[in-house]
């Protein structure tokens, strides 16, 4: 009898000390398939379940029509209805929540989900794709909307840089401790300095052809990263010659990557 009790205690102790793997879901909306690429990469690398958010009345693929409908919904407060989810959210601990950035924040179908689904006590890891930016803004909006969830730092990528996703997602997941593996920690950015002509040329090369960013670099900081150099610019709106100005000039932070032997590209804008 004594032996059985000791054995039972040992089994119980072993069970307690065993690490429970959190149950993870990748839940995403993607109108035109870009965010889906990130969702699939996350699913593959995490070995997680995946579920797609599907509006009952599809937005289709027409950009202009989506802008018009999306704006109308926001103005009128009529969010899109979505099909019931396949996944039972209550049974997951960690939810990677993905979306395209619309109008500077998460796309409208995400607003519906945040209203309808109970995310209390969950760990939420936002991820998004965008033309120029909106990661920080959308993550802040999710945090505000879900005060009883733990909203962790997110991952965002420009649609134009979708090829960078597998490697960036791997680093993101390792840094966050979601998958095992070592990553070389990146050095911290030093303090911002006034941008020199040389810095401004890098900034212009990175954003030059992108119509939504018409700005001048004012301050800069940079650091070495594996395979190149990363910059952060503080820039101010400045319409190109002959272009109309939209209100007061605003400042923005523009993240730029210069990979060895390649032209500068911007990776994200925070406004």
Chain residues in the site for ligand FMN (CB under 6 A): 30-35, 63, 66-67, 70, 100-104, 129-134, 159
Quote the strand ranges of the chain, DSSP E.
Answer: 24-28, 49-52, 94-102, 105-106, 123-130, 150-151, 155-158, 193-194, 215-225, 228-237, 251-259, 265-270
- Minimum CB distance to ligand FMN smaller for 24 or for 267: 267
- Minimum CB distance to ligand FMN smaller for 36 or for 122: 36
Cα dihedral 192, 195, 196, 201 sign? positive
- Minimum CB distance to ligand FMN smaller for 41 or for 101: 101
The distance of closest approach from Cβ of residue 49 to ligand FMN in the complex, given in angstroms and rounded to an integer, is: 19
Question: Beta-carbon neighbour count of residue 5 at 10 Å?
Answer: 9
The distance of closest approach from Cβ of residue 50 to ligand FMN in the complex, given in angstroms and rounded to an integer, is: 14
Q: Nearest CA to 67 among 100, 34, 112?
A: 100
The distance of closest approach from Cβ of residue 78 to ligand FMN in the complex, given in angstroms and rounded to an integer, is: 15
**Cβ atoms 63, 69 nearer than 8 A:** no
The distance of closest approach from Cβ of residue 74 to ligand FMN in the complex, given in angstroms and rounded to an integer, is: 10
The distance of closest approach from Cβ of residue 107 to ligand FMN in the complex, given in angstroms and rounded to an integer, is: 7
Buried b (16+ CB within 10 A) or exposed e, 64-89: eebeebbeebeeeeebbebeebebee
The distance of closest approach from Cβ of residue 80 to ligand FMN in the complex, given in angstroms and rounded to an integer, is: 12
Cα dihedral 209, 210, 211, 213 sign? negative
- Minimum CB distance to ligand FMN smaller for 114 or for 195: 114
- Minimum CB distance to ligand FMN smaller for 101 or for 149: 101
Q: Which pair of structure tokens corresponds to residue 54?
A: 């599907």
- Minimum CB distance to ligand FMN smaller for 24 or for 30: 30
State residue 114 phi and psi, 5-degree precision: -65, -30
């Amino acid at each position: 009898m004594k032996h059985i009790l000791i054995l039972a205690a040992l089994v119980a102790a072993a069970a307690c000390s065993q690490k429970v793997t959190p149950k993870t879901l990748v839940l995403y909306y993607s109108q035109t398939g870009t965010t889906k690429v990130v969702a699939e990469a996350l699913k593959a690398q995490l070995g997680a379940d995946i579920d797609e958010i599907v509006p009952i009345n599809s937005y289709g693929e027409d950009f202009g029509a989506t802008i018009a409908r999306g704006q109308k919904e926001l103005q009128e407060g009529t969010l899109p209805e979505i099909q019931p989810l396949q996944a039972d959210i209550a049974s997951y601990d960690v939810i990677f929540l993905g979306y395209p950035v619309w109008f500077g924040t998460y796309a409208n179908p995400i607003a519906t989900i945040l209203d309808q689904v109970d995310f209390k006590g969950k760990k939420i890891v936002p991820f998004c794709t965008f033309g120029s930016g909106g990661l920080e803004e959308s993550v802040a909006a999710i945090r505000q909307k879900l005060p009883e969830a733990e909203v962790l730092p997110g991952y965002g990528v420009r649609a134009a840089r979708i090829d960078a996703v597998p490697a960036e997602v791997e680093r993101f997941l390792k840094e966050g401790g979601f998958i095992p593996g070592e990553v070389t920690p990146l050095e911290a950015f030093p303090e911002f300095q006034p941008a020199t002509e040389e810095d401004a040329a890098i900034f212009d090369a990175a954003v030059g052809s992108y119509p939504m960013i018409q700005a001048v670099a004012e301050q800069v900081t940079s650091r070495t990263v594996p395979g190149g150099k990363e910059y952060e610019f503080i820039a101010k709106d400045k319409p190109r010659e002959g272009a109309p100005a939209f209100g007061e000039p605003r400042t923005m932070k523009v993240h730029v990557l210069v990979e060895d032997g390649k032209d500068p590209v911007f990776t994200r804008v925070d406004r």
